[in-house]
Amino acid sequence: MDGTATLFVNGQIFLSPSGIKPGAGGQNAGLQHRAPTFAECMLVRNNTIEFVGARSNAPAAAAQAKVVDLQGKTVLPGFVDGHMHLMLLGQSLTKIDLGKCKSLDDIRATISAYASENPDVPRILCRGWMHSMTPGGVTASALDDVDSQNRPILIDSKDLHSTWCNTAALRELAAESWKDVAGGTIERDADGKLKGLFTEAANMTYVWPWLASVASMQARIAAIRAAIDAYHSCGYTGMIDMAMDEGAWEAVQAMRAEGEVPMRIAAYWLIRPGDDTLAQVDRAIELSKQHNQSTTPDCRIIGIKVICDGIIDACTAALSEPYAAADSDGHVGLPLWTEGELVPVVKRATEGNLQVALHAIGDAAVKMAIDVISAHVPANLRPRIEHLELTNEEDVARLGEKGIVASIQPVHADPAILGAWPKLLGEHRRKRAFAYREFADAGAPLALGSDSPTAPHEPLANIYVGTTRRSYRRPEMSKEDAVNPHFALGLCEAVVAATEGAAWSCCADGSIGRLHDGLSADFVVVDMEWDNVKLLEARVLETWYDGKKVWPAAVGGMSR
């Protein structure tokens, strides 16, 4: 047979549990207790896995293959991030991280120090701000004196649903001319003057496109390369982008024109609220006809993404009961889209054979998303709901009955970032948060993602939080701080959701997601114990994409 063959031996080569096929009702039940199964060897030829199993059963070609001694390490399928933001992640890697700040004073000091050390940057871009850091609210003036050059300052909230600007940024954005948009807020004072905060649809409609417009093609390509490099370093070989737009897509295509992009990219086109929503869907349909499983299988437009509500920390997630905070005044949050607005968009996408992904965090938004999908999207299109942070038991059961993908991001369940939730929701509803165990037992297909850059993107950290419900950000937090540990996933279950489950959710399970004969040679070599509590000690040693090593071994790594 033609081509170079490599035989990997003396390791633990993970086999996805036999008979577990995402999409079949109840397919996850019992997986949390399933012990892992490992093969003795794996034969790779060129870009394909040729054999996985016992060495005694290996084909004759294995005798002539180059041998790699894994030295007892574990081989997992290449991770597929089930929900991330490619361009935003790449750009965020150069933004000031405010994630460790605890107050407005901390934020001001951090920005001031950066401004002094970086006198040549045209504007100051930050990320990681949380509303809980500034309980009194935010204003442009609170940032106006932290930089002696008075450069524009733009701060992304951790969840990317808001941008906080100083007065110089408001001038550069020409934000005084912006009109209110449905489902978004342009904060103004009693005199109608801009306060410097843009949330939800206003942020998506105005700030995101503006930031894209001031980034050169070279800068956008550099951001994508940086994101892919970061993903290779922690074991990813695939990603599902959940906010693709023209600027990012142009950059991806320009990068592909320059040569191979060593990452499997499946993208959902972001549909923004407005008068042209159906035209946006038509654009996604047009692109999907050009870039699909048949034409460009490793870089596809596969669906649309609609953000149906906001987030709990900002009290913009749509709830069925009022927020519990004393000053909520009966506020329940409102969906960014009404059902009447959402249905035509979903129907047009379905008619165009696109997948549908609906962001829904609050239980009212989740109910609406399930209602719309159940009525208008066939199960074979693998519809999905993103986040599902607060759900009721009735709707969880419907997820399984309808075969709707539960696209979940365990890193959002980290107890280190949920300190405000008891006050916002009340303890009784907090106990319903992140009900992953129920999703799995109801039979909903699981796709594990990170939502980067809103959260850490490392897949092993994500699996750690999902299986322990403890903090990755602050490992010193006690076991008693775990968030609803009765909803934890099993380790086998979480690994499958982060590999095969994510691949299945974007219709790529026929080529990636498992270590199996005939599939693409995408895999990761990890120094780890099969113990969820010890995952924070695990190290990714090598990442292989399409049969090629794209991330090198650690210093003094495995022998050849």
> What DSSP element (H or E) covers 157?
strand 153-157
Burial of residue 556, with CB atoms counted within 10 A of its CB: 0-12 exposed, 13-18 middle, 19 or more buried = exposed
Instruction: Extract the residue ranges of the chain whose pLDDT is less than 70.
Output: 1-2, 18-33, 326, 553-560
The beta-strand segments (E) located in 232-298 are 236-244, 264-270
Pairing state of beta strands 548-551 and 539-545? antiparallel
Could you tell me if 264 and 508 are in contact, meaning their C-beta atoms sit under 8 angstroms apart? yes
Could you tell me if 242 and 170 are in contact, meaning their C-beta atoms sit under 8 angstroms apart? no
Write the DSSP string, 123-148.
SEEEEEE-GGG-TT---GGGGTTS-T
Distance of CA 463 to CAs 243, 468, 545, Å? 23, 8, 21
For residue 69, give the 3-state DSSP assignment.
strand
Cα gap 294→444, rounded to integer Å = 28
> Whose CA is closest to 228, among 81, 448, 44?
81
Write the DSSP string, 491-537.
HHHHHHIIIIIHHHHTT-TTTSSS--TTSB--EEEEE--S-GGGGGG
Write the DSSP string, 233-248.
HTTEEEEEEEEE-HHH
The answer to whether the Cα torsion of 217, 293, 232, 501 is positive or negative is: positive
Cα gap 424→448, rounded to integer Å = 26
Secondary-structure percent of the chain, ordered helix, strand, coil, rounded to 5: 35, 25, 40
φ, ψ for residue 541 (rounded to 5)? -100, -40
**CB-side exposure of 470: number of CA atoms within 13 Å?**
14
User: What is the pLDDT at residue 30?
Assistant: 54
Write the DSSP string, 354-408.
-EEEEEE-SHHHHHHHHHHHHHH--GGG--EEEE--B--HHHHHHHHHHT-EEEE
User: What is the pLDDT at residue 26?
Assistant: 43
Q: Write the pLDDT tens digit of every residue in 333-364.
A: 889 999 999 999 999 999 999 999 999 999 99
Could you tell me if 50 and 540 are in contact, meaning their C-beta atoms sit under 8 angstroms apart? no
User: What is the pLDDT at residue 208?
Assistant: 84
Q: Write the pLDDT tens digit of every residue in 170-226.
A: 999 999 999 988 778 999 999 999 999 999 888 888 998 888 888 889 989 999 999
Beta bridge partners of 164: 155, 197
CA 141 to mean position of chain CA atoms: 33
In this prediction the pTM is 0.89
**Residue by residue, what is the 3-state secondary structure of 435-503?**
CHHHHHHHCCCEEECCCCCCCCCCHHHHHHHHHHCCCCCCCCCCHHHCCCHHHCCCHHHHHHHHHHHHH
Distance of CA 531 to CAs 35, 222, 464, 495, Å? 11, 37, 9, 12
Write the DSSP string, 171-202.
HHHTGGGPPP-TTEEEEE-TTS-EEEEEEHHH
Cα gap 195→442, rounded to integer Å = 45
